[in-house]
Structure 1
């Protein structure tokens, strides 16, 4: 039974893909009937080696893919089989994304990139809040003097900081991060992680981070480890690393 207080609820979640046709066709099971719930405000690291299913799981949590079986509920709303228009509404208001590859729009400035989700999703009465909110977030990640720069004018670490600010612009209850430091050197990766965790605490969001890095996972409240599409372990981190 789903806990009404859970921010994220996953029940019997499976994902399979079919390769080939006719007698040569075969099915590959990527996720195989997994279950877990995440309460509001928890920081969860999803771990596993390449091919374990962790990125597929994140895509299903985000509503970017449809499961073969089972369901995902976010903030009490079942999303797995919603029509695309309603799914986009839920996703826009509920989830902030941080991608490994930044996903900034090259023709928009840093400020415009951060502001974009607000312009696409905010209600009319909230429109005036967007610009000061975007400026405040960029300042909080150390980019007060880079707001009018385009992505090509920013380093990788700066681009990821813009992506962090963008993820939090709508104050989403959930932030999903896919290897957010994977494309950065050690120093920039540590700085981006610190900013992500500080923003998460300040905003009070639920954070789900996919990683293969046990050092990064050491900062999480809880670690879910996948192997071959199944949950190998699900444990609380009794002594999370602090920054």
Structure 2
């Protein structure tokens, strides 16, 4: 489903090159829930942005469901994202001038034929916002906004969902609600889920945990029935 081959990302700061990712090789099969963890500055959000086609690698190749996204222009990337990917941001990224229903509908209207209103309403009811769908983001709590963002990510039935610290700005109750919605989507719809988190309890629920340090994969742990069965340290950075 997702293939990452020799991916590097750097930025140029004057004459100095700042390396953020230093050569990432990852293969994620369909339906797997992967947690990407690491300290602040380890490169995990940068990696997720590259996987989602929101950024371009400085070097290396990335494939989503066989499509090489590392060399696509923005128009082509938008099509791939619209068909294959739902993305959930830590800061929600809702459009303030649109209602909850209109925010959820937007990806459908951009990428799918037909009328998606009934589907959007159904998704908002699933996430517990059936009576809030005509409210604007400013009228919603943080937990409610994040649940709108989840419904928006699910509206086109993407085979891949990516989430960047989706519970990071939420209290424990709302965080648990959002996490359960993501997990149920992974479990029931067999959606591939790639989630960046700093929370070890969230990472412990994943099928697989990838640990980044200083822009490199230092641990790749696969779990089965919540028990770790294999652990591969690809490179230790000291």
- Same topology, TM > 0.5: yes
Q: Distance in 1 between matches of 2:46 and 2:79?
A: 21
Aligned residue in 1 for 2:36: 46
- TM-score w.r.t. length of structure 2: 0.93
Of 128, 134, 137, the match for 1:151: 137
Q: Distance in 2 between matches of 1:157 and 1:68?
A: 36
- 1:238 is displaced (CA, Å) by 2.9
Aligned residue in 2 for 1:161: 147
Aligned residue in 2 for 1:187: 173
Q: Distance in 1 between matches of 2:130 and 2:80?
A: 31
Give the paired residue count.
Answer: 227
Runs (5+) with no aligned partner, structure 2: 228-238
- TM-score w.r.t. length of structure 1: 0.91
- Which secondary structure state, in structure 2, belongs to the residue aligned with residue 96 of structure 1? strand
- Which secondary structure state, in structure 2, belongs to the residue aligned with residue 193 of structure 1? helix
Aligned residue in 2 for 1:76: 66
Of 54, 62, 86, the match for 1:96: 86
- Which secondary structure state, in structure 2, belongs to the residue aligned with residue 111 of structure 1? helix
- Which secondary structure state, in structure 2, belongs to the residue aligned with residue 97 of structure 1? strand
Q: Distance in 2 between matches of 1:107 and 1:18?
A: 36
- 1:1-243 alignment runs, 5 A limit: 7-20=1-14, 25-122=15-112, 124=113, 127-128=114-115, 130-240=116-226
Q: Distance in 1 between matches of 2:188 and 2:125?
A: 14
Q: What whole-Å deviation, never above 9, does each CA across 1:32-64 have from its counterpart, x for those lacking one?
A: 111010000000000000010001101100111
Q: Distance in 2 between matches of 1:132 and 1:220?
A: 32
Q: What whole-Å deviation, never above 9, does each CA across 1:65-121 have from its counterpart, x for those lacking one?
A: 111110100011000111221111111111101000001111111111101000011
- 1:209 is displaced (CA, Å) by 0.1
- Which secondary structure state, in structure 2, belongs to the residue aligned with residue 106 of structure 1? coil
- 1:198 is displaced (CA, Å) by 1.4
- Which secondary structure state, in structure 2, belongs to the residue aligned with residue 40 of structure 1? coil
- 1:17 is displaced (CA, Å) by 1.1
Q: Distance in 2 between matches of 1:183 and 1:220?
A: 20
Calculate the aligned-residue CA RMSD, in Å.
Answer: 1.1
Q: Distance in 2 between matches of 1:240 and 1:115?
A: 36
4+ runs of 1 displaced by more than 3 Å? Answer: none
Q: Distance in 2 between matches of 1:60 and 1:146?
A: 33
Runs (5+) with no aligned partner, structure 1: 1-6
- Which secondary structure state, in structure 2, belongs to the residue aligned with residue 188 of structure 1? helix
- 1:199 is displaced (CA, Å) by 2.4
